Amino acid sequence: MLLVGDSAGGVYGFDGESGAALWSHQMAHEGGLLALAINPEGTAFATAGQDERLLIWDAAEGQTTKAIDIDNGWVENVAWSPNGKWLAASCSRQVRVFDLGGDELWRSDDHPSTISTIAWSKSSELATACYGQATFMEGPTGTIRQRLKWKGSLISMALSPDGKVVACGSQDNSVHFWRRSTGHDSMMPGYPGKPTALAFDTKSTLLATGGDATVTVWSFQGRGPEGTHPGRLQLHVKTVSTLSFAPRGRRLASGGRDGAVVVWSLQKDGEGEPVGAALVPDVVAEVYWRPDGRALAALDAQGGVTVWRVGE
Amino acid sequence: MNMSEKVPVTILTGFLGSGKTTLLNRILSEEHGKKIAVIENEYGEVGIDQGLVIDADEEIFEMSNGCICCTVRGDLIRVLGNLMKRRDKFDYVLVETTGLADPGPVAQTFFMDDEIRDEFSLDGIVTLVDAAHIDQQLGRSDESTEQVAFADVLVLNKTDLVSDDTLDGLEARLRDMNRMAQIVRSEQANLPVDTVLNLSAFDLDQALERRPTFLEPEYPFEWTGVYSLEPGRYELSLAEGPDPEMSLVVVYDQRADDSALRDGAELCVRQYAEPAENVLPGESIPVGTHVNLKLEDPGRKSFLLKIDRPVQVGLYAQHTAEEFDLQLVSADGTAVALTTERTWVAQHEHDDEVGSIAIERDGDVDPDLLNIWLSRLLAERGVDIFRMKGFISFAGEPKRFVFQGVHMLFDSQPDRLWGDSPRRNQLVFIGRNLDEESLREGFEACLT
């Protein structure tokens, strides 16, 4: 199944093979939908929006099973823990964690600034990024485990699947990352634009970053990426807006403000070649891989959904 | 992307109690058929029938490089980023700031963030001031001063609480600080919506229409009279006037067209900078010298002017001819008719350290020289330069270029074709402790 939410506040379910529309709700979130996340089992999903509400849905039926009023401003991020037990939602300076049934387990203290993005690590820690810091909290309790500070606005975040590295894109046109074991940080400055798109591959070796029309790929093999040259993937003619690694292997999908969707085959050092490309009518908002890695979906700014089959 | 496709944004600033909420209420309740998104800091008593009101914490994001021009409003980037994804675009966005806000980061957000810059254009900054309190606020707070300095429109509100004289004084003070802004008066923020929205405030054409003299430099003299004279002795005759003395420079070979008058004015400024030589009634006035006519005696007084060849003379006088009933009388006792006369914007004391400087120059500018000059100027003085706007005529460019800047950031875009209109450069700087002469010299060096 392919689940899609749009900025106008609608939620839609499509058959993942045929594209047939299964169900739709045009006004699930009044004012606009801001986030959608599917649980690891694919049985439930959560949506959040400008109506200050968090909704939990049954994926097959397309019916809400729980509506939670957050009433603290726009609910901008939702994320399920890898074990499927917990659902996190951020709203203004606070993040709250719920169980599958929608009962609240804990809520954080106010962060120093509005939370820009959230992510779960494999070991069920919840990470948040905001202006000035990235914070790691214990999934079940919310106890703070680590605070990584940086005087800058952290606008995007990617956790390496092995849990060792957290990377953040910053408003000041740099990518900043920390080794979690030591808290040691490195900055990759010199991006022409702000890196809103970041993605780690499944092996935790490659970090793909946007920031302009070039996809810049840092390799963490050996002693890198410090002191190494990144791979520079060039095909887009406008800024890269979204990046996503395939569920297996070193295949990367990129979408751009030029409306291009490109699939790249990467090497361990971060260099790579395009293996397929297509155009959609407007800015690419998101690209998503089907869990089996054999199909790729792109959402564009006109509200279009395009799905391609991807060969081996 | 075309400018016209961008959603115009108005920033509304003003101290607590200046009437921002009243004005917002009025805008949102009035029938104007526009879709407005309002971004404000606290839900007030605001009706939301016609628009969307979004509550956002004023989050100032400084960057690690410590550069003030990189300081932006994070909440705006986030909220506007989400608004621009919607298909049902808004006609306008109105950003209300808290009373103590520095307008810099708000304005800079529309220059610094690429995505915001692609979708939105800063239409103007409207600052409300409380007529009863602004005088004290300006002395005490930098924020209040900056809000006045950044404004495209200054709303002098609560005018019913102070006298007309006080209002005139306030207006003069505000005008000194910001010569660019349109000043409007209101009692209870009862302004038409068009005063606040869709200002195209960066359009200097409009500013010039409102006040044709606003770009003119100020001079230490108010009046120039040009006379065509034959050789002989003339008397400069003055009645009693508002001052016991008057400064004057007489120049030879003064042509009567406006451009020649302005050249003459620039020349006379230098003469005026020299100490004046006192001239008593009955004495002779030297040509090309800064003199001080002594007028203490009662009744009409005459000074001698000796002309040795047929010549057109220019009299650059501290006061207008009207104020002293000034006449030039020939030896046969008849008054000489004026060939032409012109008045100037009079110079006066500036009390506030924040002020504006206008530069107006005919001719073409070398883009490379301008770029070098502006880059250096903004790198050195950007912190103190709040706003900069202007029109530039680049050599070889058929279109006029429009400039606008906030602190160290600036943006230039081609505007309309020059066509038959005279190619002229107009620049306004608003800032703290600006050095007029070095700005003028710097700009003049960029002319081809």
Tens digit of each residue's pLDDT (9 = 90 or more) over B215-267 = 566 788 889 999 999 999 999 999 988 888 999 999 999 999 988 998 888 88
**A7 part of contact set with chain B, CB < 8 Å:** yes
> What is the separation of C-alpha A268 from the centre of its chain, rounded to a whole number of angstroms?
22
* CB atoms A150 and B59 under 8 Å: no
Please tell me the predicted confidence (pLDDT) of residue A239: 95
What sign has the CA pseudo-torsion B363, B364, B369, B371?
Answer: positive
Please tell me the predicted confidence (pLDDT) of residue B233: 94
Query: pLDDT by residue (tens digit) across B379-427?
Result: 888 888 988 888 899 999 999 988 888 888 888 888 888 888 888 888 8
Residue whose C-alpha is closest to residue A138's, from A97, A78, A103, A90: A97
- Note whether B51 and B38 are within 8 A (CB): yes
Q: Please give the full DSSP string across A240-295, using - where no structure is assigned.
A: EEEEEE-SSTTEEEEEETTSEEEEEEE-TTS-EEEEEEEE-SS-EEEEEE-TTSSE
Percent of chain B with pLDDT over 90: 30
Please tell me the predicted confidence (pLDDT) of residue B366: 95
From CA A47, how far away is CA A25, in angstroms rounded? 12
Residue A88 φ/ψ, nearest 5 degrees: -105, 145
Supply B187's token pair.
């009692």
Residues facing residue B67 across a β-bridge: none
Q: Which residue of B has its CA nearest to A49?
A: B82
| Helix, strand, coil percentages, rounded to 5, for chain A | 0, 55, 45
Instruction: Decide the pairing of beta strands A94-99 and B182-185.
Output: unpaired
* CB atoms B85 and A32 under 8 Å: yes
Tell me which of B59, B76, B109, B118 to substitute to probe the interface with A (most A C-beta atoms closer than 10 Å).
Answer: B59
- Confidence class for position B329, pLDDT limits 50, 70, 90: very high
Supply B291's token pair.
């003199």
Q: How many CB atoms lie within 10 A of CB A278?
A: 13
- Note whether A295 and A289 are within 8 A (CB): yes
Supply A290's token pair.
């089907």
Q: Does residue B1 surpass a pLDDT of 50? A: no
**A39 part of contact set with chain B, CB < 8 Å:** no
Contacting residues of A for B86, CB less than 8 Å apart: 7-8, 32
- Note whether B204 and B358 are within 8 A (CB): no
Cα A144 to Cα A72, A128, B14, distances in angstroms: 22, 11, 40
Please tell me the predicted confidence (pLDDT) of residue A191: 93
Q: How many CB atoms lie within 10 A of CB B258?
A: 10
From CA B307, how far away is CA B303, in angstroms rounded? 13
From CA A28, how far away is CA A62, in angstroms rounded? 11
From CA B331, how far away is CA B302, in angstroms rounded? 12
From CA A71, how far away is CA B3, in angstroms rounded? 37
From CA B50, how far away is CA A106, in angstroms rounded? 38
Contacting residues of B for A171, CB less than 8 Å apart: 61, 63, 72, 74, 77, 113
- Confidence class for position B44, pLDDT limits 50, 70, 90: very low
Q: How many helices (H) and strands (E) does chain A have?
A: 0, 28
First to last CA, chain B: 31
Q: Does residue B352 surpass a pLDDT of 80? A: no
Q: Does residue B211 surpass a pLDDT of 70? A: no
**B62 part of contact set with chain A, CB < 8 Å:** yes
Q: Which amino acid is at B150?
A: F
From CA A171, how far away is CA A116, in angstroms rounded? 11
Residue whose C-alpha is closest to residue A91's, from A106, A74, A107: A74
**A150 part of contact set with chain B, CB < 8 Å:** yes
Q: Is B135 exposed, middle or buried (0-12, 13-18, 19+ CB in 10 A)?
A: middle
Residue whose C-alpha is closest to residue A60's, from A38, A81, A35: A38
Contacts of residue A158, defined as CB under 8 A and 6 or more positions apart, other chains included, come to: A119, A166, A167, A168, A198, A199, A200, A207
Contacting residues of A for B61, CB less than 8 Å apart: 113, 131, 152-153, 171
Cα A104 to Cα A49, A89, A93, B56, B256, distances in angstroms: 18, 11, 17, 25, 84
Please tell me the predicted confidence (pLDDT) of residue B48: 46
Please tell me the predicted confidence (pLDDT) of residue A159: 96
Q: Does residue B203 surpass a pLDDT of 60? A: no
From CA B151, how far away is CA B183, in angstroms rounded? 10
Cα A153 to Cα A116, B65, B73, B81, B286, distances in angstroms: 9, 12, 10, 15, 68
Residue B42 φ/ψ, nearest 5 degrees: -150, 140
Contacting residues of A for B64, CB less than 8 Å apart: 150-152, 172
Q: Rounded to a whole number, what is the distance in Å from the CA of B66 to chain A's nearest CA?
A: 9
- Confidence class for position B273, pLDDT limits 50, 70, 90: confident
From CA B367, how far away is CA B448, in angstroms rounded? 9
SS3 state of residue A209: strand
Q: Domain boundaries in chain B? A: 3-201, 224-346, 354-444
Domains B3-201 and B354-444 equal at CATH topology level: no
From CA B108, how far away is CA B122, in angstroms rounded? 9
Of A7, A73, A285, the CB nearest to B55: A73
- Confidence class for position B212, pLDDT limits 50, 70, 90: low
Task: Return the minimum-mean-pLDDT range out of A126-130, B24-28, B289-293, B437-441.
Answer: B24-28
Tell me which of B40, B82, B116 to substitute to probe the interface with A (most A C-beta atoms closer than 10 Å).
Answer: B82
**B348 part of contact set with chain A, CB < 8 Å:** no
- Note whether B334 and B272 are within 8 A (CB): no
Q: How many CB atoms lie within 10 A of CB A88?
A: 26
* CB atoms A131 and B77 under 8 Å: no
Give the DSSP letter of residue B286: P
Question: Top-level CATH class of B3-201?
Answer: alpha beta
What is the reported pTM? Answer: 0.76
Percent of chain B with pLDDT over 70: 91
From CA A22, how far away is CA A29, in angstroms rounded? 19
Contacts of residue B167, defined as CB under 8 A and 6 or more positions apart, other chains included, come to: B131, B156, B159, B185
Angle (CA) B21 B123 B199, round 5°? 80
From CA B145, how far away is CA B15, in angstroms rounded? 10
Supply A226's token pair.
């410090």
Residue B213 φ/ψ, nearest 5 degrees: -95, 5
Q: Which amino acid is at B165?
A: D
Give yes or no for a cis peptide into A225 (omega within 30° of 0). yes
Size of interface A-B (CB pairs under 8 A): 62
Q: Rounded to a whole number, what is the distance in Å from the CA of A8 to chain B's nearest CA?
A: 6
**A186 part of contact set with chain B, CB < 8 Å:** no
Of B55, B61, B114, the CB nearest to A153: B61
* CB atoms B87 and A303 under 8 Å: yes
* CB atoms A131 and B61 under 8 Å: yes
- Regions of chain A where pLDDT drops below 70: none
**B59 part of contact set with chain A, CB < 8 Å:** yes
* CB atoms A116 and B82 under 8 Å: no
- The mean predicted confidence, pLDDT, of chain B is 84
* CB atoms B61 and A150 under 8 Å: no
Q: Domain B354-444 adopts which CATH fold?
A: Hypothetical Protein Yjia; Chain: A;domain 2 (3.30.1220)
Query: pLDDT by residue (tens digit) across B119-145?
Result: 898 888 999 999 988 888 887 778 888
Contacting residues of A for B65, CB less than 8 Å apart: 172
- Confidence class for position B205, pLDDT limits 50, 70, 90: low
Of B94 and B348, the structure prediction assigns the larger pLDDT to B94
Contacting residues of A for B59, CB less than 8 Å apart: 113-114, 131
* CB atoms B74 and A8 under 8 Å: no
Q: Does residue B204 surpass a pLDDT of 90? A: no
Element (H, E) at B171: helix B164-177
From CA B112, how far away is CA B126, in angstroms rounded? 21
